[in-house]
Protein backbone atom coordinates (compact mmCIF):
# COMPACT_ATOMS: atom_id res chain seq x y z
CA UNK A 1 0.00 0.00 0.00
CA UNK A 2 1.46 3.33 -1.10
CA UNK A 3 -0.17 6.37 0.51
CA UNK A 4 1.05 8.55 -2.33
CA UNK A 5 -1.07 6.40 -4.69
CA UNK A 6 -4.77 6.68 -3.66
CA UNK A 7 -5.84 3.83 -5.98
CA UNK A 8 -3.72 1.39 -3.96
CA UNK A 9 -5.07 2.70 -0.67
CA UNK A 10 -8.82 2.43 -1.25
CA UNK A 11 -8.74 -1.08 -2.69
CA UNK A 12 -10.52 -3.16 -0.04
CA UNK A 13 -8.42 -6.26 -0.72
CA UNK A 14 -5.22 -4.23 -0.35
CA UNK A 15 -6.52 -2.90 2.97
CA UNK A 16 -7.37 -6.40 4.18
CA UNK A 17 -3.92 -7.64 3.13
CA UNK A 18 -2.40 -4.81 5.17
CA UNK A 19 -4.49 -5.83 8.21
CA UNK A 20 -3.19 -9.39 7.88
CA UNK A 21 0.40 -8.11 7.87
CA UNK A 22 -0.32 -6.14 11.04
CA UNK A 23 -1.31 -9.35 12.87
CA UNK A 24 2.31 -10.57 12.88
CA UNK A 25 3.59 -7.24 14.12
CA UNK A 26 0.98 -7.12 16.91
CA UNK A 27 1.63 -10.74 17.98
CA UNK A 28 5.40 -10.21 18.17
CA UNK A 29 4.92 -7.03 20.22
CA UNK A 30 2.57 -8.89 22.54
CA UNK A 31 5.23 -11.60 22.93
CA UNK A 32 7.79 -8.93 23.89
CA UNK A 33 5.39 -7.60 26.56
CA UNK A 34 4.73 -11.15 27.81
CA UNK A 35 8.27 -11.38 29.25
CA UNK A 36 7.30 -8.99 32.06
CA UNK A 37 4.73 -8.99 34.89
CA UNK A 38 1.75 -6.65 34.98
CA UNK A 39 3.76 -3.80 36.66
CA UNK A 40 0.65 -1.78 37.67
CA UNK A 41 2.86 1.10 38.85
CA UNK A 42 3.61 1.94 35.21
CA UNK A 43 -0.05 2.86 34.67
CA UNK A 44 -0.74 4.61 37.98
CA UNK A 45 -1.33 8.38 37.74
CA UNK A 46 0.44 10.33 40.52
CA UNK A 47 2.35 7.17 41.53
CA UNK A 48 4.02 8.12 44.87
CA UNK A 49 6.94 5.78 44.04
CA UNK A 50 7.44 7.42 40.66
CA UNK A 51 6.84 11.18 40.89
CA UNK A 52 7.60 12.96 37.60
CA UNK A 53 8.24 16.72 37.89
CA UNK A 54 5.47 18.92 36.39
CA UNK A 55 3.52 15.92 35.12
CA UNK A 56 0.45 14.37 36.70
CA UNK A 57 -0.12 11.44 34.34
CA UNK A 58 1.26 7.91 34.60
CA UNK A 59 4.83 6.85 33.78
CA UNK A 60 3.48 5.27 30.58
CA UNK A 61 1.73 8.53 29.64
CA UNK A 62 4.97 10.48 30.19
CA UNK A 63 6.99 8.02 28.07
CA UNK A 64 4.38 7.91 25.29
CA UNK A 65 3.97 11.69 25.23
CA UNK A 66 7.71 12.33 24.89
CA UNK A 67 8.12 9.64 22.24
CA UNK A 68 5.26 11.12 20.21
CA UNK A 69 6.78 14.59 20.43
CA UNK A 70 10.02 13.20 18.97
CA UNK A 71 8.20 11.10 16.38
CA UNK A 72 6.16 14.16 15.31
CA UNK A 73 9.44 15.93 14.52
CA UNK A 74 10.38 12.88 12.41
CA UNK A 75 7.16 13.41 10.42
CA UNK A 76 5.42 10.26 11.70
CA UNK A 77 2.04 11.91 12.10
CA UNK A 78 1.92 13.36 8.61
CA UNK A 79 1.26 9.81 7.45
CA UNK A 80 -2.51 9.24 7.09
CA UNK A 81 -2.27 5.83 8.81
CA UNK A 82 -0.87 7.24 12.06
CA UNK A 83 -3.14 8.64 14.82
CA UNK A 84 -1.40 10.21 17.85
CA UNK A 85 -2.30 9.61 21.51
CA UNK A 86 -1.37 13.23 22.36
CA UNK A 87 -2.44 15.23 19.25
CA UNK A 88 -2.31 18.58 21.09
CA UNK A 89 1.38 18.20 21.98
CA UNK A 90 2.92 17.44 18.59
CA UNK A 91 5.69 19.60 17.10
CA UNK A 92 6.43 20.54 13.49
CA UNK A 93 8.58 18.00 11.61
CA UNK A 94 12.27 18.86 11.10
CA UNK A 95 12.00 16.96 7.78
CA UNK A 96 10.37 18.55 4.72
CA UNK A 97 6.61 17.98 4.60
CA UNK A 98 5.21 15.25 2.32
CA UNK A 99 1.93 16.26 0.71
CA UNK A 100 0.07 12.97 0.62
CA UNK A 101 -2.94 12.98 -1.73
CA UNK A 102 -6.15 13.33 0.31
CA UNK A 103 -7.60 9.83 0.51
CA UNK A 104 -9.76 10.16 3.62
CA UNK A 105 -12.34 12.83 4.54
CA UNK A 106 -10.84 16.03 5.97
CA UNK A 107 -12.14 15.23 9.50
CA UNK A 108 -10.36 11.81 9.57
CA UNK A 109 -7.70 12.93 12.13
CA UNK A 110 -10.54 13.82 14.53
CA UNK A 111 -11.67 10.16 14.57
CA UNK A 112 -9.31 9.24 17.39
CA UNK A 113 -10.00 6.20 19.57
CA UNK A 114 -6.61 6.17 21.30
CA UNK A 115 -7.91 6.98 24.80
CA UNK A 116 -10.25 3.98 24.59
CA UNK A 117 -7.49 1.82 23.06
CA UNK A 118 -5.10 2.73 25.90
CA UNK A 119 -7.71 2.09 28.61
CA UNK A 120 -8.70 -1.26 27.06
CA UNK A 121 -5.05 -2.27 26.64
CA UNK A 122 -4.24 -1.53 30.30
CA UNK A 123 -7.39 -2.97 31.85
CA UNK A 124 -8.14 -5.93 29.57
CA UNK A 125 -5.06 -6.90 27.55
CA UNK A 126 -2.10 -6.47 29.94
CA UNK A 127 -3.61 -8.98 32.45
CA UNK A 128 -3.75 -11.53 29.61
CA UNK A 129 -0.38 -10.76 28.01
CA UNK A 130 1.88 -10.31 31.07
CA UNK A 131 3.87 -13.15 32.60
CA UNK A 132 2.30 -12.87 36.09
CA UNK A 133 0.59 -10.32 38.36
CA UNK A 134 3.15 -8.25 40.18
CA UNK A 135 5.65 -5.36 40.20
CA UNK A 136 9.17 -5.34 38.82
CA UNK A 137 10.46 -1.79 39.42
CA UNK A 138 13.77 -2.50 37.69
CA UNK A 139 11.87 -3.11 34.45
CA UNK A 140 9.54 -0.08 34.36
CA UNK A 141 11.43 1.35 31.39
CA UNK A 142 11.31 -1.94 29.46
CA UNK A 143 7.63 -2.42 30.25
CA UNK A 144 6.74 1.12 29.14
CA UNK A 145 8.65 0.76 25.86
CA UNK A 146 6.99 -2.62 25.15
CA UNK A 147 3.59 -1.11 25.99
CA UNK A 148 4.19 1.79 23.60
CA UNK A 149 5.08 -0.65 20.81
CA UNK A 150 1.84 -2.57 21.47
CA UNK A 151 -0.26 0.60 21.69
CA UNK A 152 1.11 2.10 18.48
CA UNK A 153 0.51 -1.17 16.58
CA UNK A 154 -3.01 -1.53 18.00
CA UNK A 155 -3.77 2.11 17.21
CA UNK A 156 -2.63 1.76 13.58
CA UNK A 157 -4.67 -1.44 13.17
CA UNK A 158 -7.87 -0.07 14.71
CA UNK A 159 -7.68 3.30 12.94
CA UNK A 160 -7.22 1.49 9.63
CA UNK A 161 -10.98 1.29 10.00
CA UNK A 162 -11.03 4.77 8.44
CA UNK A 163 -9.59 3.39 5.17
CA UNK A 164 -11.98 0.43 5.29
CA UNK A 165 -14.93 2.80 5.80
CA UNK A 166 -13.88 5.12 2.98
CA UNK A 167 -13.42 2.16 0.61
CA UNK A 168 -16.87 0.80 1.54
CA UNK A 169 -18.44 4.24 1.13
CA UNK A 170 -16.88 4.68 -2.33
CA UNK A 171 -18.04 1.17 -3.28
CA UNK A 172 -21.68 1.83 -2.36
CA UNK A 173 -22.35 5.57 -1.97
CA UNK A 174 -26.11 5.15 -2.43
CA UNK A 175 -26.48 2.64 0.42
CA UNK A 176 -24.28 4.50 2.90
CA UNK A 177 -25.71 7.91 2.01
CA UNK A 178 -29.18 6.59 2.85
CA UNK A 179 -28.02 5.02 6.13
CA UNK A 180 -26.02 8.12 7.14
CA UNK A 181 -28.91 10.50 6.34
CA UNK A 182 -31.25 8.43 8.53
CA UNK A 183 -28.53 8.14 11.22
CA UNK A 184 -29.10 4.39 11.09
CA UNK A 185 -26.12 3.36 13.23
CA UNK A 186 -27.28 -0.26 13.48
CA UNK A 187 -27.78 -0.35 9.71
CA UNK A 188 -24.27 1.01 9.12
CA UNK A 189 -22.78 -1.49 11.60
CA UNK A 190 -24.65 -4.36 9.93
CA UNK A 191 -23.50 -3.38 6.45
CA UNK A 192 -19.83 -2.83 7.31
CA UNK A 193 -19.68 -6.18 9.10
CA UNK A 194 -18.22 -9.09 7.15
CA UNK A 195 -18.46 -12.13 9.42
CA UNK A 196 -16.64 -14.39 6.96
CA UNK A 197 -13.59 -12.08 7.01
CA UNK A 198 -13.72 -11.86 10.81
CA UNK A 199 -13.94 -15.66 11.14
CA UNK A 200 -10.93 -16.09 8.86
CA UNK A 201 -8.93 -13.64 10.95
CA UNK A 202 -9.68 -15.51 14.19
CA UNK A 203 -8.84 -18.89 12.63
CA UNK A 204 -5.54 -17.51 11.34
CA UNK A 205 -4.70 -16.03 14.75
CA UNK A 206 -5.06 -19.46 16.39
CA UNK A 207 -2.56 -20.92 13.93
CA UNK A 208 -0.13 -18.01 14.35
CA UNK A 209 -0.33 -18.14 18.14
CA UNK A 210 0.40 -21.88 18.08
CA UNK A 211 3.46 -21.21 15.95
CA UNK A 212 4.77 -17.92 17.41
CA UNK A 213 3.43 -17.69 20.93
CA UNK A 214 4.52 -20.89 22.69
CA UNK A 215 7.47 -20.33 25.04
CA UNK A 216 8.83 -23.74 26.18
CA UNK A 217 10.89 -22.06 28.90
CA UNK A 218 7.80 -20.72 30.70
CA UNK A 219 7.81 -21.71 34.37
CA UNK A 220 4.80 -23.42 35.97
CA UNK A 221 2.02 -20.93 36.67
CA UNK A 222 3.39 -18.25 34.36
CA UNK A 223 1.15 -16.98 31.59
CA UNK A 224 2.07 -16.95 27.91
CA UNK A 225 0.39 -15.80 24.68
CA UNK A 226 -2.12 -18.59 24.07
CA UNK A 227 -4.38 -18.90 21.02
CA UNK A 228 -7.38 -18.27 23.30
CA UNK A 229 -5.89 -15.00 24.59
CA UNK A 230 -5.17 -13.73 21.07
CA UNK A 231 -8.64 -14.67 19.80
CA UNK A 232 -10.23 -13.00 22.86
CA UNK A 233 -8.22 -9.79 22.35
CA UNK A 234 -9.17 -9.57 18.67
CA UNK A 235 -12.77 -10.79 19.01
CA UNK A 236 -13.71 -8.68 22.06
CA UNK A 237 -11.55 -5.60 21.58
CA UNK A 238 -9.60 -5.12 18.32
CA UNK A 239 -12.32 -5.97 15.78
CA UNK A 240 -15.19 -4.21 17.65
CA UNK A 241 -13.12 -1.03 18.04
CA UNK A 242 -12.14 -1.15 14.36
CA UNK A 243 -15.84 -1.31 13.49
CA UNK A 244 -16.61 1.56 15.87
CA UNK A 245 -14.03 3.63 14.01
CA UNK A 246 -15.69 2.67 10.71
CA UNK A 247 -19.13 3.72 11.97
CA UNK A 248 -17.93 7.00 13.51
CA UNK A 249 -16.03 7.85 10.32
CA UNK A 250 -19.08 7.09 8.13
CA UNK A 251 -21.57 9.01 10.30
CA UNK A 252 -19.76 12.25 9.43
CA UNK A 253 -19.01 11.34 5.81
CA UNK A 254 -21.69 13.53 4.15
CA UNK A 255 -20.21 16.61 5.82
CA UNK A 256 -17.19 16.28 3.55
CA UNK A 257 -17.29 16.58 -0.22
CA UNK A 258 -14.01 14.68 -0.74
> Is residue 244 near ligand ISJ by the rule CB under 6 A?
no
Which position among 10, 26, 122, 239 is part of the footprint of ligand ISJ (CB under 6 A)? 239
C-alpha dihedral sign at 122, 127, 131, 134: positive
Q: Which stretch binds ligand ISJ (CB under 6 A): 51-59, 90-98, 224-232, 236-244?
A: 236-244
Q: Are the C-beta atoms of residues 64 and 86 closer than 8 Å to each other? A: yes
Q: Residue 23 catalytic? A: no
Q: Which stretch binds ligand ISJ (CB under 6 A): 132-140, 190-198, 206-214, 224-232?
A: 190-198
The span from the CA of 249 to the CA of 190, in Å, is 15
Which position among 164, 188, 209, 225 is part of the footprint of ligand ISJ (CB under 6 A)? 164
Number of residues that bind ligand ISJ (CB under 6 A): 11
The span from the CA of 256 to the CA of 86, in Å, is 25
Q: Which residue is nearest to ligand ISJ (CB)?
A: 242
Q: What is the closest distance, in whole angstroms, from the C-beta atom of residue 109 to ligand ISJ in the complex?
A: 20
- With residues binned 3-state (H G I as helix, E B as strand, rest as coil), the percentages for the chain, rounded to 5, are 65, 0, 35
The span from the CA of 71 to the CA of 94, in Å, is 10
Residues that bind ligand ISJ (CB under 6 A): 16, 164, 192-194, 197-198, 201, 239, 242-243
Amino acid sequence: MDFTKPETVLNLQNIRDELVKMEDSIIFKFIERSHFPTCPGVYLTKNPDLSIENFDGSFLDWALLHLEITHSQLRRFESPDETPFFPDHLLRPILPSISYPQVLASYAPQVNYNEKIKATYIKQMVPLLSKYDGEQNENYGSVATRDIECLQSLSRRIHFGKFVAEAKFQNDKELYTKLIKSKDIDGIMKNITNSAVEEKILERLVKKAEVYGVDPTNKEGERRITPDYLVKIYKEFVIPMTKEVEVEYLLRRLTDDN
